[in-house]
A and B are shown apart, each in its own frame.
Chain A
Amino acid sequence: EAGVTQFPSHSVIEKGQTVTLRCDPISGHDNLYWYRRVMGKEIKFLLHFVKESKQDESGMPNNRFLAERTGGTYSTLKVQPAELEDSGVYFCASSLLPGDTEAFFGQGTRLTVV
């Protein structure tokens, strides 16, 4: 069974450009989470989808970030326009159930804004 896959694995863009990150969760997992780790600090929660609906987007830093999950399958996270402080590793995770259950992480997308 395929795990959580993220594309691209690395992205280097200039400040002001747009970048779209993609996450394909494990098939059948209704719960999809986005996290971000900046400069070796904590991994911080961004948002949580249940199927195609945003359950919690309290961690989204500002309106330059837009997440979608069309049809409740894969999800995209768009940053527009990108700023230097957006650099970091963006992780996606999925789980069958929310809460007391194992979440499966992708390998992350390393975003560098120059």
Chain B
Amino acid sequence: QQPVQSPQAVILREGEDAVINCSSSKALYSVHWYRQKHGEAPVFLMILLKGGEQKGHEKISASFNEKKQQSSLYLTASQLSYSGTYFCGTEIIPDSWGKLQFGAGTQVVVTP
């Protein structure tokens, strides 16, 4: 039931782009993206809902392919501050009361 994230890790130079994918074998109602820096709390980035609605930070972009049950997070023109571990959390049904199934995370390292 846990979603699968790919890649497991990515190293970027400042200014480069990257895509993180989150795939589920179950039909998804929503996908939540979080970023965690070492030793800190995971920080909310975005929610994507079935039907196309998005809630989140303007500078982060993501997509939700309902047919493939997959979400992708786009890191564009990466900055050093983008480094961290990115987690996707999925809700399978709308009445799951916020219970999220998380992926194993994608570690992103942005170098100067």
- Closest chain A residue, CB of each to CB of B93: A99
Decide if A56 is an interface residue (CB 8 Å cutoff): yes
B42's partner among A40, A98, A105 (CB-CB below 8 A) is: A105
In B57-80, the 8 Å CB interface with A consists of none
Number of A-B contacts (CB under 8 A): 74
Give Cα A43 to B35, complex, Å.
Answer: 13
- Closest chain B residue, CB of each to CB of A3: B41
Interface size on B, residues (CB 8 A): 28
Decide if B110 is an interface residue (CB 8 Å cutoff): no
- In contact, A35 and B102 (Cβ under 8 angstroms): yes
Decide if A45 is an interface residue (CB 8 Å cutoff): yes
| CB-defined A-B contacts under 8 Å, sample of 30 | A3-B41, A4-B41, A33-B98, A33-B99, A42-B2, A42-B101, A42-B103, A42-B104, A42-B105, A43-B87, A45-B100, A48-B97, A48-B98, A91-B41, A91-B42, A97-B98, A99-B30, A99-B91, A99-B94, A99-B96, A100-B47, A101-B98, A102-B47, A103-B100, A105-B41, A105-B42, A105-B43, A106-B41, A107-B40, A107-B41
- Closest chain B residue, CB of each to CB of A56: B99
Interface size on A, residues (CB 8 A): 30
- Which residues of B are interface residues toward A (Cβ below 8 A)? 2, 30, 32, 34, 39-44, 47, 49, 55, 87, 89, 91, 94-105
- In contact, B102 and A98 (Cβ under 8 angstroms): no
Give Cα A48 to B96, complex, Å.
Answer: 10
- Which residues of A are interface residues toward B (Cβ below 8 A)? 3-4, 31, 33, 35, 40-45, 48, 50, 55-56, 59, 91, 95, 97-108
Residues on the B chain within 8 Å of A91, using CB: 41-42
Known contacts A3-B41, A105-B42; A98 and B2 CB within 8 A of each other: no
Besides the known contacts A42-B2, A42-B102, A99-B94, 9 further A-B residue pairs in the complex with CB atoms under 8 A apart: A31-B97, A42-B101, A42-B104, A43-B89, A43-B102, A56-B99, A98-B97, A99-B95, A103-B32
- In contact, B30 and A100 (Cβ under 8 angstroms): yes
Residues on the A chain within 8 Å of B97, using CB: 31, 48, 50, 55-56, 98-99
